[in-house]
Chain A
Amino acid sequence: DAGVTQSPTHLIKTRGQHVTLRCSPISGHKSVSWYQQVLGQGPQFIFQYYEKEERGRGNFPDRFSARQFPNYSSELNVNALLLGDSALYLCASSWTGVSYNEQFFGPGTRLTVL
């Protein structure tokens, strides 16, 4: 079975630009969560979507937005990129969006902002 897939693998942008990251969950999983992982830190929660609805949002500015499509894939958008947005962006999928979730991570997208 295919795991969580993310694209692109690596991305280089300049300050002020916009970026879109994509994620496809494990087949049958209906929930997708997005995390930002800065080098040396644990993943920080950005969003969770379940059945195309936002179920949770972390402490990130409005420059960060996301959506989930009918096929449960998801996009994370970041506007007006800052140097501090450079990080590994992880997508995780789980079967449901309710209590007790086993989340499985994709390989991540490495974003570098110059």
Chain B
Amino acid sequence: QKEVEQNSGPLSVPEGAIASLNCTYSDRGSQSFFWYRQYSGKSPELIMFIYSNGDKEDGRFTAQLNKASQYVSLLIRDSQPSDSATYLCAVITEEDFNKFYFGSGTKLNVKP
């Protein structure tokens, strides 16, 4: 069973702060890691992906991957109220590269 774990939250941060979202995974064969944002009642939107150890930046978002420790994180700089949503972590493994395994998501609240 491939586990993807996320703290359900809610994580509350003030506007302008850095929000840090974390995800751990159980399968060491995990290859690629994705962050999706899901607004209430809507479908997930892809934010970014990462597959190499280290940091990857895209605008206000930075994904960080540490395969040795089996975690991936998403940093949101200058958080805005519009960032308030549930953030889903998803992984693809080498064994099941056709399947995305999702965590349950972390709910983020950015307070004005």
Contacts and interface: CB of A to CB of B under 8 A. Distances in A.
Co-assembled chains A and B: yes
Interface of A: 33, 35, 40-45, 48, 50, 55-56, 58, 88, 90, 92, 97-108
A100 B31 contact: yes
B101 interface: yes
A86 to B, nearest CB: 15
A104 B43 CA distance: 9
Interface residues of B, number: 26
Given A97-B98, A100-B32, A42 B43 contact: no
Contacts of A58: 99
B105 to A, nearest CB: 5
Given A42-B88, A42-B105, A103 B43 contact: no
Interface of B: 4, 31-32, 34, 36, 42-46, 49, 51, 88, 90, 92, 94, 96-105
Most buried by B among A97, A101, A104, A108: A101
A43 B98 contact: no
A56 B92 contact: no
A45 B100 contact: yes
Contacts of A33: 98, 100
A56 B98 contact: yes
A54 to B, nearest CB: 9
Contact of B51 (A50, A56, A98, A100): A100
Contact of B99 (A45, A98, A102): A45
A42 B46 contact: no
